[in-house]
Amino acid sequence: MNIFRDPRWGRGQETYGEDPTLTGRLGVAFVKGLQGPDPQHLKVAACAKHFAVHSGPEKLRHEFNAVASPQDLQETYLPAFKQLVDANVEAVMCAYNATNGEPCCGNTYLLQDVLRKQWGFRGHIVSDCWALVDFYQGHKVVKTPAEAAALALQRGVNLNCGSVYPYLPEAVKKGLTTEAQMDSSLAILLRTKFKLGLFDAPGSSPYDKLSTDVINSPKHRALAREAAQKSIVLLKNNGVLPLRNDLAKYFVTGPNAANLDALLGNYYGVNPEMKTILEGLVAGVSPASQMQYRPGALLDRPNQNGVDWVSGTARTSDATFVVLGINGLLEGEEGESIASPSFGDRLDYNLPQNQIDFLRGLRKNNQQPLVAIITGGSPMNLAEVHELADAVVLAWYPGQEGGNAVADIVFGKVSPSGKLPITFPKSLDQLPAYESYGMLGRTYRYMTQEPLYPFGYGLSYAKFEYGTLKLPKKAAKNKPVEVEATVRNTGKMAGEEVVQLYLTHTPRQGQQIPRYALKNFRRVALQPGASTTVKFTLTPEQLALIDAQGKSVAPTGR
């Protein structure tokens, strides 16, 4: 549920992007899917993490203090967590870092004042794994494991992922905590276990009938494919896409074409049928067509022998797909990204130089269509890729059916409809310092410089036109506002559009007010020539502004 406030963060791939409205909406949907519709019988207990104000640097996370103003807390860092609490998420995980001077797993303001008292959270709080060790090794707020255990218990951590709570008996003997306090914390955990049916007779839970037959079932594979299709973002298209799938000769190349890692983000399961991008493209062309493949380049270093086996093939092919980008070797969680010199963070915003050189070689003296397919979980500098390729397809880490989904897009089986959940700056020079958690200058809401690709951007094979936005002539204070617009597909292909509603308030001298703020969105499917009217209701809460003290205030002005 963390906000992807800076593209340098290697774990940003695990988030829903840089916007709190988007993050909360998708997070709530995930919680409902995981837990099921019956609050007394949970399918699984979902856990919202990392509470709160947590988004790098990875290398410093065990000792870092993230400083956030009251306004940034209430406007940016906390809203998505509150939405999940309102949706009855069963667990919340506190983060490694400190926020405003206290470790998150011992933070009175976050765990007691906000989570328990203001929001009324009744589920359990779990530490990030070994975060309580950071109390004495990183943050140094206590000296011993027993003191760390007592402090975390007192501040409201019910469950310790790690090695510190076995010291609770010692803490009791030393008078640092009490058995009664342990019992009351345990009672909260037992409530979750009762909801999960762990004390019920076999067969009494509504989920006991679920069998392993559903795992990797055709229905679920189809859903994985659809999710990937709808996530892929078309960044550029000079008219070459969609390609016919029955051309005489295709060529696939690039370090991530046949790479399984390019399908998988952080925290993944493996599958007996992982569809690489190469496999998807091969399956997507006509049996009468020829498709050749050579990797052509390494992920992040020059080819050792300097022999060019690919550019000639690209020039004689009817179309070339070059699969570039990054993967989990270069970005991810602390220590997981074994090729990253910066603990998984991406302090170099550029693609590896050898990939750019490779693309230049493919483009040289080549007039045939060149389609760049980019993998990765975070923004990267694609300026030269955009310039050299005829089309740029951002596939992210598209999962087990990723290759098939990419083929569905490039051959026009479906129209691309994904939109960017994060701004792609032109360079890191456009951003504040990575360690700064202030929002000014960050994300589409506060960034004043022109980005490479804006938040919410994504092309389609359909063509959508918007009618006039209808608004009431005057909005009453503390009353909802109805807005609507007609969207029409004037193109020749069916497609889906994500209609996005943004709000802009009149800027005021000396006040921090977002330039734009996403308030709602809806996906609509339209056949050629069809139209639909999309209506949104802006609630008083959505219309409000957050002031410097973190208070919600009704707006005035336009």
pLDDT tens digits, 58-76? 999 999 999 999 999 999 9
- Annotated catalytic, 300? no
CB 90 within 8 A of CB 30: no
Cis peptide before 52 (omega within 30 of 0): yes
Predicted TM-score of the model (pTM): 0.97
Phi, psi of 469 (to 5 degrees): -75, 125
Instruction: Give per-residue pLDDT as tens, 102-121.
Output: 999 999 999 999 999 999 99
Phi, psi of 542 (to 5 degrees): -70, -30
For the chain, list residues with pLDDT below 50: none
The confidence score (pLDDT) of residue 533 equals 98
The confidence score (pLDDT) of residue 209 equals 87
Q: How would you classify residue 505: left for phi > 0, otherwise alpha for psi between -120 and 50, otherwise beta?
A: beta
Strands (E) across 383-449 are located at 391-396
In angstroms, the CA 209 to CA 19 distance is: 38
The three-class DSSP label of residue 194 is: helix
Helices (runs of H) and strands (runs of E) counted in the chain: 15, 19
Phi, psi of 163 (to 5 degrees): -120, 10
Give me the sheet containing 47-51, strands edge to edge.
47-51, 91-94, 124-127
The confidence score (pLDDT) of residue 431 equals 97
C-alpha pair distances (Å), 365 with each of 213, 225, 252, 517, 551: 53, 36, 18, 45, 60
Q: How would you classify residue 162: left for phi > 0, otherwise alpha for psi between -120 and 50, otherwise beta?
A: left
**295: Cβ–Cβ under 8 A, 6 or more apart, which residues?**
253, 254, 255, 257, 258
Intra-chain end-to-end CA distance of the chain, in Å: 32
**In the structure encoding, which two tokens stand for residue 85, read together?**
């609490």
DSSP 66: E
Catalytic, out of 128, 345, 390, 408: 128
In angstroms, the CA 257 to CA 241 distance is: 19
In angstroms, the CA 13 to CA 8 distance is: 11
In angstroms, the CA 79 to CA 48 distance is: 12
In angstroms, the CA 459 to CA 242 distance is: 12
Instruction: Give per-residue pLDDT as tens, 187-202.
Output: 999 999 999 999 999 8
- In this structure, the number of other CB atoms found within 10 A of the CB of residue 57 comes to 20
Angle in degrees, CA 250, 252, 255, rounded to 5: 175
In angstroms, the CA 245 to CA 281 distance is: 9
In angstroms, the CA 554 to CA 551 distance is: 10
Give alpha helix (H) positions in 411-479.
443-446
Q: How would you classify residue 296: left for phi > 0, otherwise alpha for psi between -120 and 50, otherwise beta?
A: left
**In the structure encoding, which two tokens stand for residue 238, read together?**
């000079």
The confidence score (pLDDT) of residue 475 equals 81
The three-class DSSP label of residue 531 is: strand
**In the structure encoding, which two tokens stand for residue 12, read together?**
């940003």
Percentages of the chain per state (helix, strand, coil), in multiples of 5: 30, 20, 50
- The DSSP secondary structure of 243-303, one letter per residue, reads PPS--SEEEEESTTTT-GGGG--SS----TT---HHHHHHHHS-TTSEEEEE--S-SSS--
The three-class DSSP label of residue 323 is: strand
CB 467 within 8 A of CB 448: no
**In the structure encoding, which two tokens stand for residue 119, read together?**
């929001």
DSSP 410: H
